[in-house]
């Protein structure tokens, strides 16, 4: 193979490696739990209850929708767009930063699969 050709293939390979950003959520540590819980109490609890409708749909159902697609939940929290215009008003909140959205998604999914956690929202 010519040098030019190898260089070209190498450039392509490196380009592909850096172009693919793998989505991942932070690990649910005790620190993350307490930060997320505090954020929830300040920014989410006013409208959401865990298991029942309040000023917004129950958080348990909200999160369950995204159990297989946490990346979409992160996107939603960073940029809430109307989801159920027939039933609910749009969610009007200060959009979360990527870091906040990932923290909340990681924690809420953790709570969904660990409903006995003492930090579970009411």
Residues binding ligand HEC (CB under 6 A): 43-44, 46-48, 55-57, 62, 65, 73, 76-77, 82-84, 88-93, 96, 104
Q: Are 77 and 100 in contact (CB under 8 A)?
A: yes
Minimum CB separation from ligand HEC for residue 49, in Å?
11
The packing angle between helices 70-78 and 98-113, to 10°, is: 130
> C-alpha distances in angstroms, 88 versus 31, 32, 75?
33, 30, 19
CB of 2 to ligand HEC, least distance (A): 53
User: Least Å distance between CB 76 and ligand HEC?
Assistant: 6
Q: Which is nearer to ligand HEC, 46 or 67 (CB)?
A: 46
Name which of 25 and 77 has its Cβ closer to ligand HEC.
77
Q: Considering only CA atoms, which of 53, 52, 59 is closest in space to residue 77?
A: 59
C-beta closer to ligand HEC: residue 25 or 91: 91
Q: Quick one: 5 or 84, whose CB is closer to ligand HEC?
A: 84
Token duo for residue 111: 């709570």
Give the dihedral sign, CA 112/115/121/122: positive
- Residue 93: CB minimum distance to ligand HEC, A: 5
């Amino acid at each position: 193979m010519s040098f030019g050709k190898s260089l070209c293939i190498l450039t392509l390979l490196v380009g592909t490696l850096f172009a693919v950003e793998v989505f991942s959520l932070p690990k649910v540590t005790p620190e993350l739990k307490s930060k997320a819980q505090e954020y929830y109490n300040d920014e989410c609890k006013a409208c959401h209850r865990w298991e029942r409708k309040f000023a917004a749909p129950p958080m348990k159902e909200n999160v369950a929708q995204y159990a297989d697609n946490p990346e979409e939940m992160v996107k939603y929290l960073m940029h809430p767009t109307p989801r159920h215009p027939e039933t609910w008003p749009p969610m009007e909140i200060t959009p979360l930063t990527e870091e906040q959205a990932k923290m909340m998604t990681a924690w809420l999914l953790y709570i969904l699969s660990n409903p006995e956690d003492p930090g579970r929202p009411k």
